Structure 1
Amino acid sequence: MPPLVPPGARPETAALDGGRVRVLRSPAESGPAVVLLHGGGCDNASISWYRAFEPLGADCRLIAPDLPGFGSTSGIAPLGGPAPMADFTARLMTVLGEERAVVAGVSMGGDVALNLALRHPDRVRALVPIAPAGLSAGLSRPWMQAALWALCRLPDPVLLPAARLAGRFTGAALRRVLHDPSVLPPEAAAEFRRESTRPGGQLGYLRYGQAIVGRRWMRNDILPEVHRIRVPTLFFHGDLDPLIPPRDSRLAAARMPDARVVLASRCGHWAQLEAHDRFLSEVRGFLAGLPR
């Protein structure tokens, strides 16, 4: 079965780093460039941004890649942590002829977007982090942090079969990221199931976990650095997010010179999908208010 293509998107491939990057583009030839970065786990660009392309793509030049190790990007080994993924995104923008863009990212993708703004500030016009990772020093209990670190250290012959087995329980996984799983379009849910059982489909996220989880703390905590991000920033977070607490977004926004937080009510982790109408309204207003 061919990969899912969201309504209003057209797929293309870009040659980069010896491989082929699958990129979803909108048909608009004018308007702001907006790079959309998907989350981790069994996510890819078609799932995270399934509901965004048609309503936003008429007025924005949307660019949504499958990061290495995810979706239909091939020939590039997973990159691990958010810093190399941010550098990869900057190189991809150059290949696609986009020198500067608004960058939105969900969860892991939000971590990458924030790192892109820190490492390549000239490439980022504004930010829309959605329930972003990378803003916490560690799990609340030291033994849980140590246990997660030990799990991430297991060898691939143990981790990969376990990940494939876990991929059979997609219903439980969707209930984990969505407060109300019924709002997820069936096409996106089917793509999530396919991604969860695709050979190697979990490798990108496993490498990300191995890169960010330390024995005593998270290695990707950039909360002490976000004050250096000076571009306009809109944090969008579900108020019932069970994976990343909204407190992380509030703490980050309070340290940044031009940032605010929108909390979507009765909404879980995939806020851009679950609170779709609120997300569109907030993003449109945010883009309209950016300096030309």
Structure 2
Amino acid sequence: MNPYEEIRVPVAGGELAALRWPAREPGAPVVVALHGITANALSWGAVARLLDGRVTLVAPDLRGRAGSSGLPGPYGIGVHADDTAALAAALGQERVVLAGHSMGAFVAALAAVRHPGLFGPLVLVDGGFGFPAPTHLSADELITAVIGPAMDRLSMTFTDRDAYRSFWQAHPAFGGDAWSPEVDAYIQRDLTGEEPRLRSGCRLEAVRTDGVGLFQEEVTGAVRELPGPATLLWARRGLMNEEQGLYDDSRLAAAGQPGTKVRAVRVDDVNHYTVLTGEKGAGEVVRAMLAAVDER
């Protein structure tokens, strides 16, 4: 039996799918958590387990992904921000804590700027601070530079679920003890179709549009315009478990983090994925969420 329930919320063009892990006590605070560019709501599975019902956690499948793949365009970071606001309003809570991983962190920051009355403190997980787009790259080259191999799988087919599992287990970020039943459930939620032609449920058009949108001035500038406080948890290692992560002190300084309302915290011994899905990373995210709930 799943520890969560599936809900649907009206948004422009249809209904947004979301997973809800209920709190043990009625009236508990709500945290809304937003996933990355080719991910889905179950990327928050380890965080939900470690929260252990102390808050209600609600994680949507963003437009064009998993349970929300049927939602039509237009896509883009601004559309996701407005969908997030519609979800928060439907939950009927004030000052909802908003968390986001990777692209979801940019969506969270923009949602907080566009809809300041809905949200309390933010928890940004290895995302939210952007960099200028290289002017010599085409849109597709730009997206490839942003998400690399994650883009390749969107045009691949898999004979069965084991094949998809093997594809992900070969990813450098999920080596060793980084694999877990929660990671397996997360990647399996991505699949659609029938054997022997299973494929990712992420809409390619949505990923392309969102990837380019990560470099728009309104999106990259949102984190410097936040109406309230935020915590950034940045992973020491990168998307392919490489030594250089997305951020370091010098990159954050170049992106304008000092002097903002964002407190930056380095998380060692994790990469861009395991800062969310691994035991240590998820534990840090939970601590930041609970502190944000207390700070509302």
TM-score by length of 1: 0.77
> Deviation at 1:86?
0.3
Query: Which residue pairs with 1:156 in the alignment?
Result: none
Query: Which residue pairs with 1:37 in the alignment?
Result: 34
Instruction: Identify unmatched segments of 5+ residues in structure 2.
Output: 146-150
* Aligned mates of 1:90, 1:23 — CA distance in 2: 13
Determine if the alignment matches structure 1 residue 13 to structure 2 residue 13.
Answer: no
Determine if the alignment matches structure 1 residue 207 to structure 2 residue 203.
Answer: no
* Aligned mates of 1:15, 1:221 — CA distance in 2: 25
1:269 counterpart (264, 269, 272): 272
Query: Which residue pairs with 2:21 in the alignment?
Result: 26
Determine if the alignment matches structure 1 residue 127 to structure 2 residue 122.
Answer: yes
* Aligned mates of 2:114, 2:192 — CA distance in 1: 34
Query: Which residue pairs with 1:254 in the alignment?
Result: 258
Q: After TM superposition, list the pairs within 5 Å mapping 1:56-135 onto structure 2.
A: 56-73=51-68, 75-132=70-127, 135=130
Backbone CA RMSD of aligned residues: 3.5
Q: Is the 8 A contact 2:13 2:72 kept in 1?
A: no
Q: CA separation of 1:212/1:49 partners in 2, compared to 1, >3 Å: closer, same or farther?
A: closer
> Deviation at 1:232?
1.3
Letter of the 1:182 counterpart:
D
> Deviation at 1:110?
0.9
**3-state secondary structure, aligned to 2:16:** strand
What fraction of aligned residue pairs are identical, expressed as a percent? Answer: 23
Determine if the alignment matches structure 1 residue 164 to structure 2 residue 156.
Answer: yes
Query: Which residue pairs with 2:293 in the alignment?
Result: 287
Corresponding residue pairs, total: 272
Letter of the 2:234 counterpart:
H
* Aligned mates of 2:153, 2:284 — CA distance in 1: 39
Query: Which range moves more in the overlay, 220-229 or 79-88?
Result: 220-229
Q: Is the 8 A contact 1:195 1:201 kept in 2?
A: yes
> Deviation at 1:104?
0.2
Query: Which residue pairs with 1:148 in the alignment?
Result: 141
Letter of the 2:40 counterpart:
N
Instruction: Identify unmatched segments of 5+ residues in structure 1.
Output: 153-158
Q: CA separation of 1:220/1:18 partners in 2, compared to 1, >3 Å: closer, same or farther?
A: same
Query: Which range moves more in the overlay, 103-112 or 142-151?
Result: 142-151
> Deviation at 1:136?
1.5
* Aligned mates of 2:21, 2:189 — CA distance in 1: 24
* Aligned mates of 2:68, 2:222 — CA distance in 1: 31
> Deviation at 1:34?
0.8
* Aligned mates of 1:273, 1:31 — CA distance in 2: 24
2:237 counterpart (237, 240, 243): 240
